[in-house]
Amino acid sequence: MNPFKKSSVAIAQIKKIEVNKSGIIIKIKNQPDRIFYMRKWPKKYFLDALAVHPDFLGEVELIDNFIKLDYFEAYKANKKAPTKS
């Protein structure tokens, strides 16, 4: 698999997203896992937009249990995904 090759994934094919401090791991049906490193705020907006998308039927799991910041508590303050006005 070439990491520089552009690829697309149907949102309905995502079965699980694991969130950790440094990024996310996207688990897709019948494909290898994909790892994306991102900072806190891009990760927040990505997960918020994905959670409200009607085709997303997967689950989101926090896998980094050894830090003092709970990502889901931080995201509760702003539940609305960014939208175009």
Q: Name the more confident of 21 and 65.
A: 21
CB–CB of 6/45 below 8 Å? no
Q: Which residue has the higher pLDDT, 43 or 64?
A: 43
Task: List Cα–Cα distances, 42 to 34, 36, 77, in angstroms.
Answer: 17, 11, 16
Q: Which structure tokens are listed for 71?
A: 């990502």
Residue ranges of domains in the chain: 11-76
Structure tokens at 4: 């520089």
Q: Does position 81 have pLDDT exceeding 80, yes or no?
A: no
What's the pLDDT at 55? 92
Please spell the DSSP secondary structure of 23-39, one letter per residue: EEEEEETTS--EEEE--
Share of the chain above pLDDT 90, in %: 22
Whether domain 11-76 has CATH 3.30.350: the reply is no
* 10-43 tens-digit pLDDT: 899 999 998 888 889 999 999 999 998 888 778 8
Beta-carbon neighbour count of residue 48 at 10 Å?
16
Tell me which amino acid residue 63 is: I
